[in-house]
């Protein structure tokens, strides 16, 4: 701990003249929105917590009784926590390497046809992301950030857990921790700078084009995000963001999973579309001690959801983050 505090003190002293404004970054839920100068490092930590607690069929609310008329079990609620450690390094003034390592914790409560409830848990390392980010200056007040990379299959996809009725049950697709495939990622971000506010737009995709060793692949994922941030102080800004997400359905099937066991084990109940809004706050410390350390928060709430089959709906998501460049 003493070594860490000494390191933070020395690095903030060396770079004390380099002041970062509160609107320099996008909302904390946006990744790959900026690059770094040659030999510059950025360390980051993000914590995300999302809750799902209502059953949807299409865009209509459903209930466990309707699910149990088609399946042996029905989900009731699900919670997912993620701890994400990140590092960025400026290879050149125009090219930045980024790495994100997630630790994932999931829990799902279900009810069976006999009315008995049970909860299953899973946790571990998810799929690690590696990317390259290129920042193109379009003008003094606007820039384009291009990102491309790959998600590595470091998250396991064959977890089994003991339950009340099965001592070695294979967990459903959504309770596994990864995809089991190397997944290319691409993103494009546009930033427009004004005096006290910024506008941003990002298009982000994960492409999955082949099946894993269990004979299935998760669907492609696409998101479009636009935001506006306003700085009330050099060190403090607020943001509002709209997010539209498309998650395509699973292709193939894990032969160890019974499709009639639960919607969570049916690959046809995995397509979904979301429209969400978020409110964020961003703080950059400008005092002498721990200068330019960034703290941020974003609260995300769905506006509209549409799913295939029966699925749990998103209730909310909160993300906290810390970043420091040196």
pLDDT at residue 4, as a whole number: 42
What count of other Cβ atoms lies within 10 Å of the Cβ of residue 34?
18
Spatial separation of the C-alpha atoms in residues 54 and 159, rounded to whole Å: 25
Backbone torsion region of residue 267, taken as left when φ is above 0, otherwise alpha when ψ lies between -120 and 50, otherwise beta: alpha
Q: Which of 21-30, 117-126, 136-145 is least confident?
A: 21-30
**Tokens, residue 285:** 């410390």
Closest of 287, 292, 284 to residue 41, by C-alpha: 292
171-205 burial, b if ≥16 CB within 10 A, otherwise e? bbbbbbbbbbbebebebebbbebeeeebebebebb
Q: What is the mean pLDDT of residues 94-122?
A: 94
pLDDT at residue 19, as a whole number: 55
235 vs 299, residue with greater confidence: 299
pLDDT at residue 7, as a whole number: 39
Residue 195, pLDDT > 70, answer yes
Spatial separation of the C-alpha atoms in residues 155 and 105, rounded to whole Å: 12
* pLDDT band per the 50, 70, 90 thresholds, residue 167: confident
Q: What is the mean pLDDT of residues 118-139?
A: 95
Residue 325, pLDDT > 90, answer no
Q: What is the CATH number of the domain that holds 280?
A: 2.40.160.40
Q: Which structural domain range is residue 105 located in?
A: 2-325
Residue 1, pLDDT > 90, answer no
* pLDDT band per the 50, 70, 90 thresholds, residue 112: very high
pTM of the full structure = 0.89
Q: What is the mean pLDDT of residues 254-258?
A: 94
292 vs 208, residue with greater confidence: 208
**Tokens, residue 221:** 């994922």
Each residue's pLDDT tens digit, 49-94: 999 999 999 999 999 999 999 999 999 999 999 999 999 999 999 8
Mean pLDDT of the chain: 91
Count the domains in the chain.
1
pLDDT at residue 206, as a whole number: 98
Partners of 62 in beta bridges: none
Contact assessment for residue 262 and residue 172, using Cβ atoms and an 8 Å cutoff: yes
Residue 18, pLDDT > 60, answer no
How much of the chain exceeds pLDDT 70, in percent?
92
């Amino acid at each position: 701990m003493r070594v860490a505090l000494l390191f933070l003190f020395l690095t903030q002293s060396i770079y004390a003249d380099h002041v970062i404004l509160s609107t320099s970054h996008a909302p904390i839920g946006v990744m790959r929105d900026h690059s770094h100068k040659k030999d510059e490092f950025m360390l980051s930590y993000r914590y995300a917590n999302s809750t799902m607690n209502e059953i949807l069929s299409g865009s209509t609310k459903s209930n466990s009784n309707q699910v149990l008329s088609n399946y042996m079990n029905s989900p009731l609620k699900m919670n997912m926590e993620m701890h994400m450690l990140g590092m960025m390094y400026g290879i050149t003034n125009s090219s930045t390497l980024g790495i994100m390592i997630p630790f994932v914790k999931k829990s799902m409560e279900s009810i069976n046809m006999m009315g008995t409830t049970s909860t299953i848990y899973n946790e571990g390392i998810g799929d690690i992301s590696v990317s390259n980010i290129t920042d193109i200056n379009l003008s003094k007040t606007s820039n384009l950030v291009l990102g491309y990379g790959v998600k590595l299959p470091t998250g396991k996809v064959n977890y089994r857990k003991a339950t009340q009725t099965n001592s070695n049950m294979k967990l459903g697709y959504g309770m596994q921790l990864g995809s089991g495939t190397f997944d290319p990622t691409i993103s494009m971000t546009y930033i427009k700078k004004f005096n006290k506010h910024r506008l941003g737009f990002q298009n982000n995709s994960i492409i999955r084009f082949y099946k894993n060793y269990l004979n299935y692949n998760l669907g492609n994922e696409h998101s479009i995000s636009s935001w506006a941030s306003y700085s009330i102080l050099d060190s403090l800004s607020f943001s509002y963001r709209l997010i539209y997400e498309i998650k395509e359905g699973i292709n193939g099937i894990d032969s160890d999973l019974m499709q009639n066991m639960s919607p969570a084990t049916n690959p046809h109940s995995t397509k979904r579309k979301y429209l969400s809004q978020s409110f964020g706050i961003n703080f950059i410390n400008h005092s002498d001690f721990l200068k330019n350390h960034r703290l941020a928060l974003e609260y995300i709430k769905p506006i509209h959801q549409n799913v295939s089959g029966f699925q749990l709906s998103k209730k909310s998501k909160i993300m906290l983050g810390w970043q420091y460049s040196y």
